[in-house]
Structure 1
Amino acid sequence: MYDINFWSEHFSIHEPIDVRVPPQAIDSFADFLTLDSAKIEYVVHMADIGAIIERQRVLHNLHRSLSNTNDFAYNKYHTIEEIHAWIDQMVATYPELVTPLTIGKSYENRNIKGFKISSKKMATKIDGTKATTKKAVWWDGGIHAREWISPATIIYIGYALLSKYGQNPTITHLVDQFDYYILPVFNVDGYVYTWTEDRLWRKTRSKTSVPFCYGADPNRNWDYHWCERGASSDPCSDLFCGEKAFSEIEIAQVAKFIASQRDTIVNYINFHAYSQMWMSPWGYTTMRPAQFKLQDDGSIQAINALTAVHSTKYLHGTIAQTIYLSSGSTADWAYGIANITFSYGVELRDTGEYGFLLPEDQIIPTGEETFAGLLALLQYIEKYVYA
């Protein structure tokens, strides 16, 4: 009736939800909320979303016209071309630490491009002896196209690891202890679409069985409890699980790569926005896995360090209990199939004031606090995997 779009995916009694209302429905929707039979309190956070999106576009074009092509701004959002060029720049700048990583091609034939950070030094066990196998982490952003803060945060973190290696003792130690597989933009086709057509697009861009309904939710397409609760079989839904598990070529290729490294990868993090939550499996059920305490203690270490930077508050717990049920998710597959114990889904800033349209002046603070959280988590994991 009102053609509203729910930004919130979890619905609880006495908890706020975020909705986007088209201009023509604002008055009638407000009237509905204030009916005696409803009496629902509401607050307008963004009166004109279109104006905010247009302002971001204009500012980006202005910055690009004024900046040097090699001058990458970490406090700005960037196109996929700029991000891929930045990866090439990191490879050229830090050749002793960085190697390019192309996982494969997307549905629309774009490179799924990331990079690996490795000092090529042997890791050291807690007792001081050399470890026989160096462990690795996998961090990705942009699996949901409209969540721009996640690629921006991943990029900030990657640069922090590289630029401070050899200068900061903690960072140097952790880069020597782990290899890092970093994929700034997972859903490359969807991300491009948010820059060219629809800033609030979420899914991939593959064709479906329903005309004019495109893509699947790449965080519901994994082959672990696929398309159960918290997913949709409707191709027009934002939660569409796909025609089958791993139907999305991007998901299938990333899963294949991770599976090939399953003996070394000990930490998987899928960065999202928004809600400020650090979550562990399971998503498909409210039951907790046997290793929940081990995982959740890692979440606690991370968010305590994160909060200490800018006082940003995060929730923690299982995905299903903290935010909502979501079957066929990345974190569940990484833990349930790839046996990656420290598997997480992280929802970055904010809690709804800007939602998916987080202003650029929050990129650096988000990166700073998230990086602090990751360092604390890695120190926690290190004690477990190198015991």
Structure 2
Amino acid sequence: MLVFLLLGAVALASAHHAGEHFEGEKVLRVHVEDENHINLIHQLADTTQIDFWKPDSVTQITPHSVADFRVKAEDSVAVVNFLKQNNLKFEELISNLKNALEAQFDSRVRGTGHSYEKYNNWETIEAWTQQVATENPDLISRSVIGTTFEGRNMYLLKVGKAGANKPAVFMDCGFHAREWISPAFCQWFVREAVRTYGREIHMTELLEKLDFYILPVVNIDGYVYTWTKNRMWRKTRSTNAGSSCYGTDPNRNFDAGWCQTGASHSPCSDTYCGSAAESEKETKALANFIRNNLSSIKAYLTIHSYSQMLLYPYSYDYKLPANNVELNTIAKTAVKELASLHGTKYTYGPGATTIYPAAGGSDDWAYDQGIKYSFTFELRDNGRYGFVLPESQIRATCEETLLAIKYIASYVLEHLY
């Protein structure tokens, strides 16, 4: 038992270590009214190192919106003064990021090992994929669909009752390393499938008639890095030729309007699109799996955070998908289902207009492969905690999201193609 306690302490210590250098850092929200405001924020971003939380980069800021960003402790006074001098309306979402990072571990479930109501590090998730498959052989099988840049196995769980030629739903989590609530949801989904199969009519029918392919963490290397070195890391951890900057944004790396808009050609940018489409081992493995199983995959769901949105194609262009009306109706009902539990309000619509234009995303790519039902979830919250959502919100977030996912899956089942 002592060994386990020590391991738990080590995991926690490393996560806290990843928060050390955030002492005094702030997360600010600026209310952007017009082009003049946008220019001022560009000016600020040119002179100060700013980490954009929402939108993902300075290029995606639009009039009549808000911009959330993190500033280093030593820059915070200057940034606040700049905003005041230029009459930019702003608020402080997080006054000291180090405190917020420590406060995210507020789950009452302490103890060690895997928990569905805690953020689990990669070693714990990896062991869990093995255990959950071993304990539920009639519902779950585990396979490896590829390896990451740093050589870690990418595990895929196939969840469903055995049957011939079953249609499937593909769902992934953990594209962006710092969005910890995302992998927490994939784990929760698997738990609920196992726990309620044979007890709850809805889930039982879904698992008997559909297979769910669950990729619990896409960007494993980045996720490990957020636990050990830098909690705010977003990209993969691949090296870039001719640059000392690491990583590519895996959700700008797909062959869907690749690098045309809302993505950067600079390896140092958080939205770097990579040297080519599918340059990342992680995105290539995911894309290859979907291409190889295209005849059975009827829906693609990708889970991100934050901003409480349900998005569908397109993000790389302002064009609308052929079945736009249908996707809009599904999204509308899904967010209504989601809100029915805790009253959490989501907005919904095509990516480009609902959140911001961004090329190279997996949802657009999946849709263009012929998967008619392709959705991106942006989970809680709206910015109060942003990427450091406390563990105490995992349960409620996952419960409500599950309702939306089940609705979409049921719809797909009734509208097979």
The two structures share one fold, judged by TM-score above 0.5 = yes
- Give the superposition deviation at 1:27: 1.4
Structure 2 residue corresponding to 1:250, chosen from 282, 286, 301: 282
Number of aligned residue pairs: 367
The question of 1:275 aligning with 2:323 is answered no
The question of 1:207 aligning with 2:243 is answered no
- 3-state SS in 2 of match to 1:278: strand
Match of 1:173 in 2: 205
Tell me how far apart the structure 2 counterparts of residues 165 and 267 of structure 1 sit (CA, whole Å). Answer: 21
Structure 2 residue corresponding to 1:6, chosen from 37, 52, 59: 52
The question of 1:144 aligning with 2:144 is answered no
Match of 2:320 in 1: 288
- Give the superposition deviation at 1:282: 0.7
Match of 1:186 in 2: 218
- Give the superposition deviation at 1:327: 0.9
Match of 2:66 in 1: 16
The question of 1:305 aligning with 2:337 is answered yes
- 3-state SS in 2 of match to 1:167: coil
Q: Which amino acid aligns with 1:46?
A: I
- Give the superposition deviation at 1:293: 1.2
Match of 2:399 in 1: 368
Q: Which amino acid aligns with 1:150?
A: S
Tell me how far apart the structure 1 counterparts of residues 91 and 296 of structure 2 sit (CA, whole Å). Answer: 48
- 3-state SS in 2 of match to 1:351: coil
Match of 1:346 in 2: 377
- Give the superposition deviation at 1:41: 1.5
Tell me how far apart the structure 2 counterparts of residues 50 and 210 of structure 1 sit (CA, whole Å). Answer: 33
- Give the superposition deviation at 1:46: 1.0
- Give the superposition deviation at 1:63: 6.8
Moved more, 41-50 or 263-272: 41-50
Q: Which amino acid aligns with 1:376?
A: Y
Q: Which amino acid aligns with 1:218?
A: P
- 3-state SS in 2 of match to 1:267: strand
- Give the superposition deviation at 1:121: 4.0
Of all paired residues, the percent bearing the same amino acid is 39
Moved more, 26-35 or 190-199: 26-35
- 3-state SS in 1 of match to 2:407: helix
TM-score (norm 2): 0.85
Tell me how far apart the structure 2 counterparts of residues 210 and 198 of structure 1 sit (CA, whole Å). Answer: 23
- Give the superposition deviation at 1:4: 2.1
Query: Which aligned pairs between 1:14-93 and structure 2 lie closer than 5 A?
Result: 14-35=64-85, 38-56=86-104, 66-67=111-112, 69=113, 72-93=114-135
Tell me how far apart the structure 2 counterparts of residues 33 and 324 of structure 1 sit (CA, whole Å). Answer: 23
- Give the superposition deviation at 1:347: 0.5
Is the Cα–Cα contact under 8 Å of residues 109 and 117 in structure 2 kept in the other structure?
no
Provide Cα deviations, 1:320-348, integer angstroms capped at 9, x if missing partner.
11111111110011011x21100111100
- 3-state SS in 1 of match to 2:353: helix
TM-score (norm 1): 0.92
Match of 2:152 in 1: 110
Is the Cα–Cα contact under 8 Å of residues 11 and 17 in structure 1 kept in the other structure?
yes
Moved more, 221-230 or 264-273: 221-230
Provide Cα deviations, 1:93-152, integer angstroms capped at 9, x if missing partner.
211111012111100000111211121146xxxxxxxxxx42101101001000000000
Provide Cα deviations, 1:327-380, integer angstroms capped at 9, x if missing partner.
1110011011x2110011110000111111111011100100000111111122
Q: Which amino acid aligns with 2:349?
A: G
Tell me how far apart the structure 2 counterparts of residues 5 and 251 of structure 1 sit (CA, whole Å). Answer: 24
- 3-state SS in 1 of match to 2:239: coil
Q: Which amino acid aligns with 1:148?
A: W
Is the Cα–Cα contact under 8 Å of residues 209 and 235 in structure 1 kept in the other structure?
no
Tell me how far apart the structure 2 counterparts of residues 232 and 27 of structure 1 sit (CA, whole Å). Answer: 29
Provide Cα deviations, 1:202-254, integer angstroms capped at 9, x if missing partner.
00011012432011110011112111111111111011100011100111111
- Give the superposition deviation at 1:84: 1.1
Tell me how far apart the structure 1 counterparts of residues 285 and 125 of structure 2 sit (CA, whole Å). Answer: 20
Tell me how far apart the structure 2 counterparts of residues 370 and 55 of structure 1 sit (CA, whole Å). Answer: 23
Tell me how far apart the structure 1 counterparts of residues 315 and 66 of structure 2 sit (CA, whole Å). Answer: 21
- Give the superposition deviation at 1:3: 2.1
Match of 1:379 in 2: 410
Gaps of 5+ in 2: 1-46
Gaps of 5+ in 1: 123-132
Tell me how far apart the structure 1 counterparts of residues 191 and 231 of structure 2 sit (CA, whole Å). Answer: 26
Is the Cα–Cα contact under 8 Å of residues 203 and 217 in structure 1 kept in the other structure?
yes
Moved more, 295-304 or 265-274: 295-304
